[in-house]
Structure 1
């Protein structure tokens, strides 16, 4: 025999079982993979559209790391500015304390003033040279008048007996030579006096005189300089992952944050210099701003003005960084939400409905059982003939 002849009913039932088996295999594959489109053969349009959405989602996900780093870099800069502002406020407090520290030079001459031994006197008032042209025949009252003209009203007076010069000056008074001291009756000083920034050569202070406030102001100047060092160190330390937005200005220090893969949507965060030099805060040293280590009130006021400008610069920088941070965080949230939308769209195109597929599996199992029963019924006629032959 060349083949087996099957009845039409049997063949129809066999085809139905084959279709059921094919659908069962498809359903089982969807249940195991969770996908209704796992290759281009299943649905080319949905498959390639899903791939495109996934690629864009992946590109945005890779940019999120850079955006997150940008957020942290800006926050580090903002924290640095906040801390530097506190140091600047401390520097302002130190300068105000120096300004309120009174400098005085007081004392009474050991010897009586003798007109015949007098002459021009060279002295320094807070480091500023003064020449007082006292003539040899000037009386003590005339000499005191000339001294007060040079130094300031009320700086010099005479003792109760009217014979000795008394100093009560609201300044640091230094003499160029010991002779300038003795001309006024003060005991001669020895050694070299202090240099307060004018490159003066002065004699050591007379033992008759006491200077108050100078050393205190110098100590405050040292504190001020120490705060400037701390500002520089803090600015250098306010970095994140190698990015420092407050230690120096310039294109090389700017931070560029990309928001899309093409790079045509981005934000450039401009770096600023919040070091002491960037804030134009100068150290207080002899011969520079603050002659004689905060010796002059005028120079302290100049320093206070610089501090006020530095505070304004810091506030402006903080405002700019705050605005940039708001933009970056907004784009970060947008990117996260967009990634979720893209992933959801891709999933909608390729993911299987597991509930529906589970129901399909149950239905196909029942259909397969029914198909087998139907095939058995279709063969009953031939089984009857077989019984007759027996």
Structure 2
């Protein structure tokens, strides 16, 4: 090819035609790819900057899958809490049915104290209007439960209502005595059973409680029990205790309710265990850690809870021991109310965490869009401009071909002379 001699005019036109062809090829490539920067050779700064933006967008996009799974884990936990709350409500309904049952005892437990008198001879036998006219005058009675809480009531002429701070009262009449017992929360009622005799009998609420009598205050070991101690003027340790007599029909009905309650409690365990997603169960003690950015520095750890019956403070009941009277039933209801409060509190906590995760999920989607838009701004071609360029270059190419033909006419003239 080096032996071929071209005139200056032909060579200049050929060079122009080659440049036009290169430009046309570049324009056609941009139209085909939609990008004005296809390699580092096109624009190193824009190419590598866009590559960095695309890489970060890809990293964050990969995190969106784990964030989405985190949302579902929280949704599963929330669904589990909702079901647990319904089960607790069902257990409450069963406990309330126990409260509506007839008294579980045909005869309630009782104990009698006989006053020994003090000072001058009493004016007469004890009456509902005046206990101090009998030998009960000056008697001091202390009622102690299993927690060791003591309430002291004195029989005396200077009557004083129950004081919740000191847990003491002084009574003269039978009505004052029973009012003080009720206000103090002692499930007993007093009655006059002889000239100098005062008998304490369990009320319906505490019909199944065990009564013991001693000269000195003693905390009973049994949960549903009460110890009544008295000074010498109140009869000391008191007489023999009459034990409560269970009502078979009522107790059978209560035992049936205990079985129903225990079935609900068992379902609390299985429901909490089933509230998992992708192997993570926030109701079974598992924790969830979410990563929100490509460096791993932005994270959220959601601690799990144990919402089996033990975790909620609930236990299975025993027929013949639980639900036997209103006091014990009330203690079960107290535990159920506490479990409901715990579930509501945790549902609120998970709800707040879910809001955070969803906000970060939306943020990740938006930041990916920002990064990809920035990358596109650096590399994408303007299709309209490139189409116009292509048309202009095609026209220029046609003109260059014609110019090349004109440049060759001088040599054609020489050829005609030789002919």
> Normalized against structure 2, the TM-score is what?
0.67
What is the CA-CA distance between 1:285 and the residue it aligns to?
Answer: 1.3
Per the alignment, residue 229 of structure 1 pairs with: 266
Q: How many Å separate the matches in 2 of 1:309 and 1:255?
A: 26
Q: How many Å separate the matches in 2 of 1:149 and 1:94?
A: 34
**Which of the numbers 316, 327, 330 marks the counterpart of 1:298?**
327
Q: How many Å separate the matches in 1 of 2:301 and 2:2?
A: 83
Q: How many Å separate the matches in 1 of 2:390 and 2:292?
A: 45
Per the alignment, residue 302 of structure 2 pairs with: 269
What is the CA-CA distance between 1:17 and the residue it aligns to?
Answer: 0.3
C-alpha distance 2-77 of structure 1, shift in aligned 2 (>3 A)? closer
Per the alignment, residue 260 of structure 1 pairs with: 293
What is the CA-CA distance between 1:364 and the residue it aligns to?
Answer: 1.6
Q: Structure 1: 5+ residue runs without aligned partners?
A: 107-123, 134-143, 156-169, 174-196, 199-205
| Residue 240 (str. 1) matches residue 277 (str. 2) | yes
* The 10-residue stretch of structure 1 (329-338 or 82-91) with the greater mean CA deviation from structure 2: 82-91
Given that residues 77 and 281 in structure 2 are in contact (C-alpha distance below 8 angstroms), is that contact kept between their aligned partners in structure 1?
Answer: yes
CA shift digits 1:293-328 (9 cap, x unpaired): 310211111111111111111111011011000000
| Residue 313 (str. 1) matches residue 346 (str. 2) | no
What is the CA-CA distance between 1:275 and the residue it aligns to?
Answer: 1.6
Q: How many Å separate the matches in 1 of 2:341 and 2:253?
A: 29
Per the alignment, residue 114 of structure 1 pairs with: none
Summarize the alignment of residues 148-163 of structure 1 with structure 2, pairs less than 5 Å apart: 149=199, 151=201
> Normalized against structure 1, the TM-score is what?
0.71
- SS of the counterpart of 1:32? helix
Q: Structure 2: 5+ residue runs without aligned partners?
A: 114-191, 210-223, 226-244
- SS of the counterpart of 1:228? helix
CA shift digits 1:306-363 (9 cap, x unpaired): 1111111111101101100000000000000101111121122222223322322222
Aligned length: 309
Per the alignment, residue 193 of structure 1 pairs with: none
CA shift digits 1:185-225 (9 cap, x unpaired): xxxxxxxxxxxx99xxxxxxx9xx96332111111111111
Q: How many Å separate the matches in 2 of 1:105 and 1:7?
A: 129
Summarize the alignment of residues 90-105 of structure 1 with structure 2, pairs less than 5 Å apart: 90-103=90-103
Per the alignment, residue 21 of structure 1 pairs with: 21
The structure where helix makes up a greater share of residues is: 1
The structure where strand makes up a greater share of residues is: 2
Q: How many Å separate the matches in 1 of 2:404 and 2:304?
A: 82
CA shift digits 1:81-103 (9 cap, x unpaired): 11111111111111011111112
Given that residues 172 and 214 in structure 1 are in contact (C-alpha distance below 8 angstroms), is that contact kept between their aligned partners in structure 2?
Answer: no
Q: How many Å separate the matches in 1 of 2:27 and 2:82?
A: 62
Summarize the alignment of residues 1-390 of structure 1 with structure 2, pairs less than 5 Å apart: 3-103=3-103, 125=108, 149=199, 151=201, 211-248=248-285, 253-286=286-319, 292-390=321-419
Given that residues 103 and 325 in structure 2 are in contact (C-alpha distance below 8 angstroms), is that contact kept between their aligned partners in structure 1?
Answer: no
What is the CA-CA distance between 1:36 and the residue it aligns to?
Answer: 2.0
Q: How many Å separate the matches in 2 of 1:35 and 1:264?
A: 34
What is the CA-CA distance between 1:37 and the residue it aligns to?
Answer: 1.7
Indicate the RMSD between aligned Cα atoms, in angstroms: 3.3
Given that residues 111 and 199 in structure 2 are in contact (C-alpha distance below 8 angstroms), is that contact kept between their aligned partners in structure 1?
Answer: no
Q: How many Å separate the matches in 2 of 1:271 and 1:357?
A: 58
